[in-house]
Structure 1
């Protein structure tokens, strides 16, 4: 009587059916059940490999299967990705999402998610607090929509110890700054940022930055990202500034990253060749040197940072305003502004993006405001600075430099974008469109880089450079930060005149296995986490 079931079992096994028979004492095998099953898409796994047909299964917060998943498998959410691309979520290596993400209103991070960004690295340019614990607590309390990686910033640490003073630190002050960096790294920071372009980091020298980077380098896989001292030709020059970052890595062994790398202003257009050669030589030397870049030919900063000589920025905005109202000091400052305006490509290249004293000026060019007021552009800028300063968008880069840098295998993608209230201010469009812009303009329309390289530079490469555990790839066991996007429709919508517009084409965005975007619509999910060392 037992031969029939045994014979049936053999026949079923020969047919490739993994079943059990109750009469033989074994239960029927159950079809695999997942939380999310993404079927039929073209998978770019983040390694830089070309796309391939593959399904992706998610259970809990992890990817559990990648490949051809049997038709019998079921899931609570099944995504038909036919005709779409599937990739890891993007890691924004240079994000100004803080302090916005520390507030309840902006914590959902919609403008970030609609770009496909699932992880934002905050406190760039040396910014952020000297003590990361309150910041992390605020972010976690608001349940962010994306993952967040806080860096410890040199400028924040220097400000805590020395204020905005233009001098070298004493031995005791340097030791105190080193202690703050060590404390932040022990707390869980993955690395350190610096911004010697900005006050008070502007008043530091290479040895000071190296002394703090040496402390960070005590921790495994630490890194140092930097808004280098000069991206143009004034002061020490862009090439000397890249060399400074390399020298910090040479002295300390730390991984070095040139933040939002660019050739800023007509006087340095074309120097990207030299910068690439310099970085290649450092890498050949055995140093771990990388860079990131946003895909726009315009930058954004503060009007004072762009135009005011460093010595006149000592003490902050109030001190600057007083100096500008003193006739003798105003004349000296104005003299120093002449070259700085020229390197920004002139008054027409500067657009006011935020100005609390008179929001009606937002979106206007500096030369336009000057003509309206019947004043010289420099005097117009001084008037704005006396009344509290302004944020600007500066049109000062060359597409050929941008594209050459983008092609480098050590170049990552970033946004340099803030997390802002929708509709307020003439924000740089990178806050809404950086990653879709790269995919649309530089991959799909202009073929500057391949889709595989663009995705790798936005996911797997940052995870590798910054040693972010179990993220950046579509791979079993990795966290389920996953995108499904339409190559026909993915695009940036934000423009310089109308920057407040969400990007299009992201169909699904999963953060830690939960759908933050579904069918292109924002959900109520807030699954982001703060990523800290050892946690």
Structure 2
């Protein structure tokens, strides 16, 4: 009995001691947890991930249907796609009801100059469309010195990633000027050197604009020779083709020129912002598609990019003035317009070109520095108000400055046919301008949501997975972006997450300065820059270098 009682006493003593220990341990643990909370760190462990995205409909960019998956991000990379349970993250995004896609890639952007402006470099209009990467220096224009441009872009930080093209027209202008002639041997050597220098600085290829001067003074042979320099660095060739209507060689021959450059230089060729411009070539999209398909069947890498509007934007001078009259620049053009012998020939060419554009009521002014009151009005309206003929009015305006225009010159049938092609990427051809300045093309604010809202949801021209592919994986493939454009483990964490019912463009041709809606979250290099539809003003963008096939992480 005493022994039994002793066991009971020992047992009770042990129980008491255990209880006391548990209490002490519990207090200690509570203290640790409290400390962890105060220090914003989980007790006893570090974060497993920086961000976890849950419950979203994942469209990975390949064109496959959406599926549910969790996505975990560490640093600037996607590390897990699948089921993520019991893991700890600094930030969790509940994407219920949203589509989760790669960040959109704009392969033809005029945002380069805007991104060097501290007031615009956050790229709010782009991010609210879901754009996380832009290709700058299109149409053969832009900076010749890519390293200098890079420094200017990074000075205040940038909101989106930037990929640079090497601009043929700017290089030609620097070496030869505005002269309409073939380069001398030493000039060709210098142009080749500048292309190589640009590619070594990280350029993604050669951009050209043989529709514009001075690029229009180059022969196809010159373009092939310079494109070969880009091909040596696995670059691509993009072109605002020589003729999108029947100005000179015609639309079909101009597309064939891109095919020829791609074939002979052995690199991907891109017909940029593809279109059939003006009544003389409406319906020719069927022939152009057939010709590109034939070239691809022969093993030539030919692609296109397109913005989802029936109106283009350019300058009144390139739209109406014959190229020969532009030789030497604006001052010499004005002299020719005042030359009684040359003026009739220029006027005759301008009259033909106005007809190609569909008439004065299809040309709307988007900016004009000498007189901002004409912005938003058509050439027909301005001419009527001033008792001039449209042609006389155009000449008068050109003498005083360089009017920027929007030109309504396409048909839905052609837009649809080009859009349906598996080799057509999405692009904006837009830029960044101060909010409220001028009456720019609405594509600056609404390209990507417009394509999805109008051509996927409303008109059902293409399906959503195909539209996303045209904005993500296809551009990455064409230009060699090896770690962007697709949601996969190891890729960079650029994301767009939108509510399909709310994703819409608000910008119009009369009131373009309106942000798009429905883009709920955007991540650039793993940083959340749009949260619940609100712009954060964080600048998480980088300059991308093609030759290294890796991001340059230098940021301000």
Q: TM-score, normalised by structure 2?
A: 0.90
Q: How far apart in 2 are the matches of 1:317 and 1:506?
A: 42
Q: 2:50 aligns with which of 6, 13, 35?
A: 35
Q: 1:247 aligns with which of 260, 276, 279?
A: 260
Q: How far apart in 2 are the matches of 1:446 and 1:39?
A: 31
The secondary structure found in structure 1 opposite 2:93 is strand
The secondary structure found in structure 1 opposite 2:126 is helix
- Consecutive unaligned residues of structure 1, counting only runs of 5 or more, are 1-27
- Match of residue 334 from structure 1: 347
- Are residue 172 (structure 1) and residue 217 (structure 2) matched? no
- Match of residue 487 from structure 1: 500
The secondary structure found in structure 2 opposite 1:54 is strand
- Match of residue 241 from structure 2: 228
Q: How far apart in 2 are the matches of 1:265 and 1:29?
A: 68
Q: How far apart in 2 are the matches of 1:442 and 1:278?
A: 24
Q: 2:216 aligns with which of 185, 197, 202?
A: 202
- Consecutive unaligned residues of structure 2, counting only runs of 5 or more, are 1-42, 551-556
Q: CA deviation at 1:73?
A: 2.0
Q: How far apart in 1 are the matches of 2:56 and 2:44?
A: 28
The secondary structure found in structure 1 opposite 2:101 is strand
Q: 2:207 aligns with which of 177, 193, 206?
A: 193
- Match of residue 20 from structure 2: none
Mapping of residues 366-445 of structure 1, within 5 Å: 366-445=379-458
- Are residue 51 (structure 1) and residue 66 (structure 2) matched? yes
- Match of residue 78 from structure 2: 63
RMSD after superposition: 1.2
Q: Is the 8 A contact 1:351 1:393 kept in 2?
A: yes
Q: CA deviation at 1:29?
A: 10
Q: Is the 8 A contact 1:432 1:494 kept in 2?
A: yes
Q: Is the 8 A contact 2:124 2:537 kept in 1?
A: no
- Match of residue 90 from structure 1: 104
Mapping of residues 517-532 of structure 1, within 5 Å: 517-532=530-545
- Are residue 320 (structure 1) and residue 328 (structure 2) matched? no
Q: Is the 8 A contact 2:47 2:90 kept in 1?
A: no
4+ aligned runs moved over 4 Å, structure 1 = 28-32
Which structure's CA Rg is the greater one?
A: 2
- Are residue 211 (structure 1) and residue 211 (structure 2) matched? no
- Are residue 160 (structure 1) and residue 160 (structure 2) matched? no
The secondary structure found in structure 1 opposite 2:53 is strand
Q: CA deviation at 1:329?
A: 2.3
1:234-264: per-residue Cα shift (whole Å, max 9, x none)?
A: 2100000000010011111011000000000
Q: CA deviation at 1:74?
A: 2.5
- Match of residue 140 from structure 1: 154
Q: CA deviation at 1:168?
A: 1.0
Q: CA deviation at 1:30?
A: 6.4
Q: How far apart in 2 are the matches of 1:32 and 1:524?
A: 25
Q: CA deviation at 1:33?
A: 2.4
- Match of residue 18 from structure 1: none
Q: 2:90 aligns with which of 76, 83, 86?
A: 76
The secondary structure found in structure 2 opposite 1:133 is helix
- Are residue 182 (structure 1) and residue 202 (structure 2) matched? no
Q: CA deviation at 1:130?
A: 1.7
Q: CA deviation at 1:291?
A: 0.4
- Are residue 129 (structure 1) and residue 156 (structure 2) matched? no
1:257-312: per-residue Cα shift (whole Å, max 9, x none)?
A: 00000000011011101000000011000011100000000000000000000000
Q: How far apart in 1 are the matches of 2:99 and 2:446?
A: 18
The secondary structure found in structure 1 opposite 2:226 is helix
1:476-511: per-residue Cα shift (whole Å, max 9, x none)?
A: 110000111000100000000000001111000000
Q: CA deviation at 1:34?
A: 1.5
Q: How far apart in 2 are the matches of 1:353 and 1:103?
A: 21
